[in-house]
Amino acid sequence: MAFFEQHMHPVPKTFLSKYIFSFDHKVIGKQFLWYGIFFLGIGGIMALMIRWALAFPDQAFPIIGQFMFPETGGIIPPDTYAMLFTMHGTIMIFYAITPILIGAFGNFCIPLMIGARDMVFPLLNMLSFWLAIISGLLLVGSLFTPLGAAAGGWTSYPTLSTLIGSPGTGQTLWALAIFVLGVSSTMGAINYITTIIVLRAPGMGYFDMPLTVWGLWLTAILNAIFLPVLGAGVLLLIFDRVFGTQFFLAGAAATSGAGDPVLFQHVFWIFGHPEVYILILPAWGIVSDLLSFFARKPAFGAKATALSMTAVTVLSTLVYGHHMFTTQMSPLLTQSFMTLTMTISIPSAIFFANWLGTIWRGSIRFDSPMLFSLGVVFVFGLGGLTGLYLATVTTDLYLHDTYFVVGHFHYTMAASVLLGGFAAIYFWMPKMFGVMCNETLAKWHFWLTMLGLNGVFMGMMVVGYAGMHRRIYNPFIYEHLQRLIPINEFITWSAILMGLSQIIFVVNFVHTVFFKKEKATQNPWNVGTLEWTIPSPAPNYNFKEIPVVKCGPHEFSNPNLTTGRDFQYQTEELVKA
């Protein structure tokens, strides 16, 4: 039950209080959504530039190449290439995926799905968004510094990220931007955790929460624990760059008894592997709900799914060392990390099997949110299976730092999370904006994205298995890699197809938000979770009266229903035989 008294916030009277400095979780969620889509576009353009340089290293980048790189005739130069893959990775992980799935849908969905009127700390919520804005400005500003933006990879290992490897101010601004964003996300995490614990509607036990809320809650717990670790690491990196300290200075240990660049790798991956699950847990939760909603049957093993996600959350804190098998780690440690990493596949397999159980013999409705959810099932299956080869020491020694790692990482992170984000956008669009996206365009968006996406990431694993290492400006100066040129060209054309298909989404989204006049019904998907018991879009106060929960979120196809519906709202008594 709710432990805090929930007041109705007064309706904001001015433009600034309503749309800019809003305390309303729904408005802040929309702000994060626009923020994430903006950076998704920037990161996507950078990805296309990277792929063009790999497929056509001696050709000018189309249209904007002549303006951006006049000194090379439009050809992307090597130093810019290093900046592109550094900023692409940083933007996609921290500034696109995180704001869309965690910032936007965490803010928007949690109070609505647990029957609350707002977050428990509205001021903290608003401040977390504006700190994210400051962080984004710092990152974008680094692009315009004299020596350019950060170029040490999205992990920014020393010595590539020290003054020796990156003498300009761009890398310093990168570290500062990540630190500020970490503060913002920690604020949000504290808000999410507390809100879910103290503001759940009366009658809503933890296993009565939708699995979307479970995913966001577990993500917030990991954020609260591990973002300060990353913050400490980048803060020490800033001290090394600005104040001359020697925390990560190579060779310092031999002269002063302190300083080790590998220390940064430990600090980074203690955060970095939980970060994988920080990003994908919301997508897992969303997909677990949507598969049930559109298969029109109860989620198979819903409690087991929640417990499996919890087990993954706990185990994710113990496996970071598998990123460091090639750093001369003790063989005893590598065996421990390998065993723990293999162990994490057990709860992952359980909820994956539950997804299949939910789909099996369901009365499936192939609306766009369901298509994207099924896409997540497919790409996560591929990504999870290929991860086993990287968790095993012997195979990882060969595959480490090849494009196999890039393909695996993008299947589990980029593909799964991106498709999960699109599923969420299409599903909660009527609740956010009161209108529904065009289904025909949404389905074209899905199929073209899936074609391009699999061409890119499967191709990456093929060239990686053939020995092509990542982060090399022109791999084809090596004779044994020249046979991979046709595959790299195929990957790039697939990336172009994937990029162009996002134009369909942008057109559909913008037209729906700004130009569509036909309003959606209150509950267009016929779903029983609490957010669909109130008007669409949700009013300022969410709920006039705090709802009382009487059943779970996945009550479908009960043969004893007499309401004329095939689902029950969570506010209705569970119909039993």
Instruction: Give the tens place of pLDDT for each residue, 543-561.
Output: 999 999 999 999 998 888 8
C-alpha 524/C-alpha 511 separation (Å) is: 19
Residue 1's pLDDT band (cuts 50, 70, 90): very low
Compute the C-alpha angle 547/532/125, nearest 5°. Answer: 75
pLDDT of residue 253: 62
Using DSSP's 3-state secondary structure scheme, residue 114 falls into helix
Radius of gyration of the chain (CA): 24
Q: What's the pLDDT at 249?
A: 83
- Bridge partner list, 537: none
For 73, 322, 327, 338, the CA distances from 387, given in Å and listed in that order, are 40, 11, 19, 11
Looking at the predicted structure, is the pLDDT value of residue 394 above 70? Answer: yes
Q: How far is CA 273 from CA 106, 268, 308, 419, in A?
A: 21, 9, 17, 21
pLDDT tens string 92-150: 999 999 999 999 999 999 999 999 999 999 999 999 999 999 999 999 999 999 999 99
- pLDDT (mean) for 433-457: 97
Q: What percent of the chain has pLDDT over 70?
A: 98
Q: What is the mean pLDDT of the chain?
A: 93
- Averaged over 451-464, what is the pLDDT? 96
Predicted pLDDT at 66: 87
Q: What tens digit of pLDDT does each residue of 171-199 get?
A: 999 999 999 999 999 999 999 999 999 99
Mean pLDDT for 37-63 is 94
CA distance 309 to 307: 5
Taking the C-alpha atoms of residue 305 and residue 347, their distance in angstroms, rounded to an integer, is: 8
Distance CA 301, CA 461 (A): 33
**DSSP states of 208-239:** GS-HHHHHHHHHHHHHHHHHHHHHHHHHHHHH
Q: Domain 30-533 - what CATH class?
A: mainly alpha
Asked if residue 514 has pLDDT above 90, the reply is yes
Helix (H) or strand (E) holding 383: helix 368-391
Structure confidence at residue 76 (pLDDT): 94
In the predicted structure, residue 7 carries a pLDDT above the cut 60:
yes
Mean pLDDT in residue range 49-53: 95
Count the helices and strands in the chain (H runs, E runs). 18, 0
Separation of alpha carbons 424 and 427, rounded Å: 5
278: Cα within 13 Å, side-chain hemisphere: 27
Angle at 21 between CA 10 and CA 428, to 5 degrees: 80
Residue 5 has pLDDT above 70, yes or no: no
Q: Tell me, what's the pLDDT at 577?
A: 54
Reduced to 3 states (helix: H, G, I; strand: E, B; else coil), residue 154 is: coil
Q: Select the more confidently predicted residue: 231 or 63.
A: 231
pLDDT tens digits for range 230-258: 999 999 999 999 998 889 987 766 677 67
The residue among 328 and 312 whose pLDDT is bigger is: 312
pLDDT band at 364, cuts 50/70/90?
Answer: very high
